[in-house]
Chains A and B, each alone.
Chain A
């Protein structure tokens, strides 16, 4: 059973100390410091304080200022949540950003060109995403080729198809007029209603998705399996875990979250564009890694990813309030990633020594 596996045995929700350290006395402080989210949280607090100091006078601390970085965090947090599950499961999806663009185009073309009702367009996008996730997952499991390569193909395939289809059907890779086409129903509000000025329903979706993912990961057998297949697929298979099924489901969940983000984007923004979601595949991975998730699989935390997403939002909008050029955004992001990886590695190393 899964509970025989080292990573799972270390604790149901996170791959913490190796089993041997459980036998030793571990102080409470040590255990707190070893949790990957703690480092991420300290990082978040540090950047928040930094921007509160340098941008606080200009609106960073106001309700609206807060709403804008929560909105940025929402956009990456929705896909970051499922990407974390997939990373813990030992796989990688480079095509999630392109999926956001493609699914958005399905929704926008559906309501504006095909004349479908909104629910049908949303369902079509979700169905496509699930089918795509299944196909990618099946291909990875069947061929044994690294998911990095398979989904790199997916990245270009989906992005190119988004441009090709939209240009063929609508003569341009941009579809506007969605708001007019869908009107003002309850379904529209579900995805685009305003919670507070500047913050939309997407935030509630993120919170809900996060709670569901955290529950599945820490409280269910499937969650144990996710850690198991990411820790060692061979060992997991030997102890009866349906490795292929678990991984394929994870790929499907990632793609579906891309469709969810697309729905939120298209309905709040009112248009679809073949550029949408570009670079999100890396942002999602960065939030996961900042939150302590291991790219090697078998370890990670949903809460950590949420902290990572908040960090991203605080940094991007904080730069605006502090009056720093956005030219520096990617550089800051890269630096944060490196620092996070180094800290995580240290924590793991020291916890292994006990």
Chain B
């Protein structure tokens, strides 16, 4: 090959490479913004779902959140995301007033927006196309039906954040299902910050009403399950009460294995992240939307029991649960 020919073929190769690089540039880019840090036991799993979907679909993804719960910083991050001109955006709407203008700025810039996790009451008004989250009432109904099937007739629904809408929805769902099965349920407030309050509340509930035979509502990833376990042992009620939680934690999965906890109802954080990316991908590519007329995709209500807890524990080790 003459030097000139070598040069020409090199140039041609460079051109080809450049074209290939250009094609790769056309890869879709999707950004997700959360209202809190993306490294806690819940959001880090959402993040894994986002990354996995990106890998599976060949989409470039980024999933971010402020270093702590902060909707002001979330708004600033959404603005920064808009500056990156992504092909799609998904955000949690933890505060409708705060996040709506940012969603609308994204829409005005021609970026399709979906929402996840929080914002069921206002995502449409804010300008989000589809909302991917647990529906608290139906998750509660599922849990209540299962409690009733396992023999519970008188359930206390523990609420560690009185006033938080989704927790009330869950407890209302449990009550609906219990009533339908001929039983009953009522809310007992507990505390995330102070385990002694949780302990006192449960002891008082059992002292006042020894016929209580079921526990529901409480967050499995929080500090309460360990306290409840101790209290039940102290009251010699272990095995006499059907115990269930929402969303698993590392403490509770082994308790399911031991039979101390009957089941946990999970909102599958991995799915939340994965679905956001894949729904946006399908919308951008094909213009189709899931969710039907309500625009809500309910991804909660998955049960973890003795039968699948080993599989879930294996997934936890991979960061998928």
Contact = CB atoms under 8 A, between A and B. Distances in A.
B94 to A, nearest CB: 10
Contacts of B79: 64, 67-68, 71, 198
B66 A320 contact: no
Interface in B32-54: 37-39
Interface stretch (A25-33, A142-150, A268-276, A345-353): A268-276
Given A64-B79, A265-B72, A326 B98 contact: no
Interface stretch (B81-89, B127-135, B211-219, B230-238): B81-89
Given A273-B71, A326-B64, A320 B77 contact: yes
A64 B82 contact: yes
A271 B67 contact: no
B10 to A, nearest CB: 26
A69 to B, nearest CB: 8
B71 A269 contact: yes
A330 to B, nearest CB: 6
B19 interface: no
A130 B19 CA distance: 64
A279 B79 CA distance: 22
A120 to B, nearest CB: 21
A279 B72 CA distance: 13
Contacts of B251: none
Contacts of B67: 326-327, 329-330
Given A326-B65, A326-B66, A330-B67, A273 B80 contact: no
A176 B95 contact: yes
Contact of A177 (B65, B72, B97): B97
A115 interface: no
Interface bracket on B? 20 to 34
A197 B71 contact: no
A65 interface: yes
Interface in A42-97: 58-60, 62, 64-65, 67-68, 71-72, 75
B62 interface: yes
Interface bracket on A? 35 or more
A171 interface: yes
A317 B78 CA distance: 11
Given A59-B83, A59-B85, A179-B97, A275 B38 contact: no
Contact of A197 (B39, B72, B85, B105): B105
B27 interface: no
Contact of A271 (B64, B84, B97, B163): B97
Contacts of B163: 171-172
A62 B81 CA distance: 12
Contact of B69 (A62, A75, A275, A316): A275
Contacts of A179: 97
B83 A64 contact: yes
B70 interface: yes
B220 interface: no
B197 interface: no
Nearest to A178: B97
Contacts of A329: 67
Q: B64, B65, B97, B163 — which one has the most chain A CB atoms within 10 A of its CB?
A: B97
B96 to A, nearest CB: 6
B83 A269 contact: no
B46 to A, nearest CB: 14
Contacts of A320: 64, 77, 80-81
A271 B77 contact: no
Contacts of A270: 97-98, 100-101
B1 to A, nearest CB: 36
Contacts of A276: 72
A249 B122 CA distance: 44
A317 B76 contact: yes
Contacts of B101: 270
Interface string B143-186: 00000000000000000000100000000000000000000000
9 contacts: A60-B83, A64-B83, A176-B96, A197-B105, A265-B72, A269-B95, A271-B97, A271-B98, A327-B39
